[in-house]
Amino acid sequence: MDTPDWIPFVGGPSRPAEPFLERAAGWAAALSYSDIPHPVRRAGRAQLTSGVGAALRTGTHPIGDRIRGSMESSGAETTVLGGGRTAPATAAVNNGVLASALEFDGSVLGGRTDASCVFVPLAYAEATGADGEELLVAQVAANEIAARLGAAVTTGSFAGPDAAWIHAAGAATGRAVIEDDSPDTLADALATALSEPPRPIERSALGADAGVWRPAAPIRTGLAAVESARSGIEGRTDLIEGDEGLLSGLCRRPAWGYLSGFGERWHTAALSVGLVPGSAYVAAATEAALEARGRFDRGRTTVRAVEVYGPHALCSMDAVANRYIEDSRTPIAAAVRSVRRATAEALVHGENTPQRVGARGGRGAIPRIAERVELTHEPALTIAALRSSVPEGIEFDGMGRAVAPKTARIVGARATLRHPSAVLGAGRRLADVPDPSKVERRIGARVVVRTADERAVEGRLERPSGVAGAPPAELRAVARRKCRESLEALGVSESVARSRTDRLSRIDEAPEVRLGWLFEGSASRRAGGDGNT
């Protein structure tokens, strides 16, 4: 008899017999460029193009100066996208932090993996003279291992797209594959890297600019773990599945099914590349606000009130962020998650650019409009998000085993009775493993702007641009636009920025990975290397 899909956390795949780390290491070490399907290659190229664009754009923000100021520049062989050249380990960490600092990086099925899975292979490929195909192989291998681990942790404080602990696995895999380590070495490196996952602390992560460093320690741990394994220090390769193993320690009910399917299920295929800083929830509100703004009458429009309707996670995320936002002090991590401020930016300036994130001061149009923004949970939008290929719309990272009753309480009795499968089956579906190539994210928002002359102007959308489920051409276009506009922000002309973005998006054709050519002739040297090819 089939189990009804509304019963929470029943059934599902059991733990695989062979240790995950051994299977993962063997698969990654044997992976070749020809093994990667063409759609996954295209997604990998778009992920890299988007990630480089995110890092470049952060380099034009004040936080980019501070990240760069903490770096020890040695004039070595690897380009730092925030400025200068240094050793590959330093470049990998700093480039990853630059890409993720404003939440402008992308994600795959299982988390935001760019910081490690893009920038560790990129740094070590440049340092070793690897070609573009070798770079893409290492990037995809790192994605597939790190993202499976992230996806398997469905609830609790270690779950969610912002989980930083998976970067230890991404960094170890990215380096080991580029430098052609054996499967045994990689398995030991992964076991060592994952032996002590860092526990996130909200007050530090959101309440201070130090939160931008969240992926840094796991990346350093992963890189050091490769050296440890090479020296002969073994790790427990049954770390993941053991009775007191990693996943059971991080999550009450891990989704074991995610730990299989290497070479058959490609998490990289479920790529999301954001066009604005912040999560998909911030992007949804931003784009809905931009649509409303486009319907304003010509000339000056006086805004009396703004109503933002969204899934429950949109409202709760904003509420948490705004606990840390003050007139005189606006931490970057909190500012980038504030739906109120993003909506105000879109309405006032007609855009929400990385440069504006965390702008300080309690005066001006942005804080005035932000004070007039009211967020309201709309259960219909939460239900739509819960029907995504992987349930979204509610912050499951704050839940334990009792997902179904908490979800029902959030959406209310009426919505639960009308949509029992979506609500009561959310916990079970967190453990289901979708086909990444068919993953669809349904994160919508509705913005109503009420003007001083008593008009109501509305904008709405079902999903933001560039998220999983969008046509592949749209994903590639968003990634290229992000990179092109970032180069233009550095002083590169539009035509040159376009040609360099096109070249970067074909990096797997390069006989040797180099990045200096990206910045030749730019008006600002702050984000470039020495200009060498």
pLDDT tens track, the chain, 533 positions: 344 444 444 445 555 678 999 999 999 999 999 999 999 999 999 999 999 999 999 988 889 888 888 877 666 789 888 678 899 999 999 999 999 999 999 999 999 999 999 999 999 999 999 999 999 999 999 999 999 999 999 888 898 878 999 999 999 999 999 999 999 999 999 999 999 998 888 888 888 898 899 999 999 999 999 999 999 999 999 999 977 899 999 988 899 999 999 999 999 999 999 889 999 999 999 999 999 999 887 677 889 999 999 999 999 999 999 899 876 678 888 999 999 999 999 999 998 888 778 765 556 788 899 999 999 999 999 999 999 999 999 887 655 567 888 899 999 999 999 999 999 998 888 889 999 999 999 999 999 999 998 899 999 999 999 999 999 999 999 999 999 999 999 899 999 999 999 999 999 999 999 998 887 766 554 444 433 32
Which residue, 93, 166, 83, 151, is CA-closest to 123?
93
* 414-433 b/e (C-beta count within 10 Å ≥ 16 → b): ebbeebeebbbbbbbbbbbb
Phi/psi for 144 (5° steps) reads -65, -35
Do residues 483 and 496 lie in contact, with contact meaning Cβ atoms separated by under 8 Å? Answer: no
Long-range CB contacts for residues 481-484, cutoff 8 Å, separation at least 24:
481/275, 482/49, 482/50, 482/53, 482/54, 482/57, 482/104, 482/273, 482/275, 483/49, 483/50, 483/52, 483/53, 483/56, 484/53
**Cβ-based neighbours of 501, under 8 Å, separated by 6 or more:** 49, 53, 480, 483, 484, 487
Do residues 15 and 241 lie in contact, with contact meaning Cβ atoms separated by under 8 Å? Answer: yes
Residue 1, Cβ density class (10 Å: 0-12 exposed, 13-18 middle, ≥19 buried): exposed
pLDDT of residue 184: 98
CA distance linking residue 94 with residue 318, whole number of Å: 28
Do residues 318 and 338 lie in contact, with contact meaning Cβ atoms separated by under 8 Å? Answer: yes
Please report where in the chains the tokens 């959030």 appear, as a residue.
410
Do residues 423 and 386 lie in contact, with contact meaning Cβ atoms separated by under 8 Å? Answer: yes
Do residues 377 and 311 lie in contact, with contact meaning Cβ atoms separated by under 8 Å? Answer: yes
Phi/psi for 19 (5° steps) reads -55, 135
* 86-121 b/e (C-beta count within 10 Å ≥ 16 → b): bbbbbbbbbbbbbbbbbbbbbbbbbbbbbbbbbbbb
Which residue, 270, 275, 218, 276, is CA-closest to 92?
218
CA distance linking residue 524 with residue 348, whole number of Å: 28
pLDDT of residue 362: 54
The residues spanned by each domain of the chain are 20-273, 276-464
Q: Token pair for residue 345? A: 């930016």
Which residue, 213, 229, 214, is CA-closest to 173?
229
Phi/psi for 456 (5° steps) reads -120, 120
CA distance linking residue 533 with residue 513, whole number of Å: 9
Rg (CA), the chain: 22
Would you tell me the crossing angle of helices 472-489 and 494-504 to the nearest 10 degrees? 130
Would you tell me the crossing angle of helices 339-349 and 312-322 to the nearest 10 degrees? 90
Alpha helices in 7-87 (DSSP H): 20-30, 38-58, 62-69
Q: Token pair for residue 304? A: 């009396």
**Which DSSP category does 108 fall into?**
B
pTM as predicted: 0.92
The domains spanning 20-273 and 276-464 adopt the same CATH topology? no
Other CB atoms within 10 Å distance of the CB of residue 294: 10
Q: Token pair for residue 437? A: 């190539």
In sign, the C-alpha dihedral spanning 251, 425, 270, 55 is negative
Q: How far is CA 400 from CA 77, 153, 253, 423, in A?
A: 46, 11, 8, 16
| Identity at 191, one-letter amino acid code | A
Alpha helices in 372-468 (DSSP H): 379-386, 403-411, 413-418, 420-424, 426-431
3-class secondary structure, 423:
helix
3-class secondary structure, 294:
coil
Q: Token pair for residue 457? A: 């102007």
In DSSP terms, which residues pair with 309 in a beta bridge? 376, 446
Q: Token pair for residue 296? A: 């304003």
CA distance linking residue 385 with residue 198, whole number of Å: 29
3-class secondary structure, 168:
helix
Please report where in the chains the tokens 């925030």 appear, as a residue.
82
pLDDT of residue 74: 65
First and final CA of the chain: distance in angstroms?
63
pLDDT of residue 529: 40
Nearest 10 degrees: Cα torsion 256, 258, 260, 264: 160
In sign, the C-alpha dihedral spanning 152, 158, 163, 165 is negative
Q: Token pair for residue 77? A: 């062989």
276-464 CATH fold: 60s Ribosomal Protein L30; Chain: A; (3.30.1330)
pLDDT of residue 13: 56
**Which DSSP category does 200 fall into?**
P
Do residues 305 and 371 lie in contact, with contact meaning Cβ atoms separated by under 8 Å? Answer: no
Q: Which CATH number is 20-273's, of 3.40.50.11710, 3.30.70.260, 1.10.3720.10, 1.10.4100.10? A: 1.10.4100.10
